[in-house]
Structure 1
Amino acid sequence: MGVRTWLAGWPVYRQLTGTDPLGRGTAAKSAGSDALTPRTDSADSVARSICPYCAVGCGQRVYVSGGKVTQIEGDPDSPISRGRLCPKGAASKTLVTSELRQQRVLYRRPYGTDWEELDLSTAMEMIADRVLAARDATWEDVDDEGRPLHRTMGIASLGGATLDNEENYLIKKLFTAMGALQIENQARI
């Protein structure tokens, strides 16, 4: 291997002797970087979505390949975020694809030490029964002077930022209809 062949692999030599004197194009590329392709090139389809984490509503492009989400990036056509995502939004792929994501209902009995699996309908019935029992036990129809209250102080809601605006709106309406007053959201705290 000659000196000239050895120097040809050095980016500074390519920059000084080639057609790219500023080193911003071909002089800066190596064989390895030349072979790289974007992760989004192999996607079968692209779906537009909204980031689920906060109330801003940044646009996302969800790249799908083989029926699985392969990449989530900011949508440059979004008038809200113009292609930018915060660190949580940029990492939202893990919300969908993480192997640590729970896929079944787990229940731990009072004073229990182990989790047990429940089917969804059983868990929903248990939750509904407990909500209704708490509402009935703490319902206040009128105050001491006879003024109508129609409320319960035994139920509260703390919404999370992983829900979108529509879901948080429906949760607020549900808890208000049940008579709850303490309704808050993580995004406001």
Structure 2
Amino acid sequence: MARFSPLNWPVVRQLTTPDRFGRGEAVTSRQTRDLKPRTATADRVVQSVCPYCAVGCGQLVYVKDDKVIDIEGDPDSPISRGRLCPKGSASEQLVNAPGRQTQIKYRAPYSTEWQSLSRDKAIDMIAERFIESRRRWWQDTDEHGRPLRRTMGIASLGGATLDNEENYLIKKLFTAAGAIQIENQARI
């Protein structure tokens, strides 16, 4: 540690430098001057959109060695102008959380254990159940013979972590399948 000297006092530096009001370099400690931003070591910066709500705040994703090291608000975003809510600020945990599930898990009815499934098997199971529910609960006409062409066995509740394009495609899919209960958490 350097030897203490009254010449290093901020008030002395303030009086002996052009920073007379003590708003800059004169009152900055050596420790503060030596600090480096945690994003300085990033290999690249990628622009993204926060995945949480439908606002669409801009994010800067800092990547080092193909791993996300930090996420900050994008000051060039016309929506958020560099600001993020607490959830958006913590969105780095979406990819780096140690408890994040990276496999598809399935628990059979009445089972107490989860089992891993392949992606193809899970998609096939979902498609079979979707088609069966649509077929079983299909209503072609009402009691007066008026056309309905709908199913009451399928509903959709979308999440705000999906972007606008994904929510648009989900809405189109469920509408084409005849579902009428289609809602999104971001709108509620």
Relative to the length of structure 1, the TM-score reads 0.89
SS in 2 for 1:183: strand
Q: Deviations over 1:2-26 (max 9, x none)?
A: xx92655665x55665534543323
Q: Distance in 2 between matches of 1:75 and 1:15?
A: 36
Aligned residues: 185
- For 2:58, the equivalent position in structure 1 comes to 59
Confirm or deny that 1:71 pairs with 2:70.
yes
**Matched-pair contact (CA < 8 Å) for 1:15–1:22:** no
**Matched-pair contact (CA < 8 Å) for 2:14–2:27:** no
Q: Which amino acid aligns with 2:157?
A: L
State percent identity of aligned pairs.
Answer: 62
- For 1:129, the equivalent position in structure 2 comes to 128
Flag the structure with higher helix content: 1
Confirm or deny that 1:146 pairs with 2:145.
yes
Q: Distance in 1 between matches of 2:159 and 2:100?
A: 17
Confirm or deny that 1:25 pairs with 2:45.
no
Shift of 1:172: 0.6
Runs of 5+ in structure 1 lacking a partner?
A: none
**Matched-pair contact (CA < 8 Å) for 1:51–1:58:** yes
5 Å-filtered alignment, 1:39-188, equals: 39-188=38-187
Shift of 1:181: 0.5
**Matched-pair contact (CA < 8 Å) for 1:44–1:66:** yes
Runs of 5+ in structure 2 lacking a partner?
A: none
User: Alignment RMSD, CA only?
Assistant: 1.9
Q: Distance in 2 between matches of 1:97 and 1:160?
A: 21
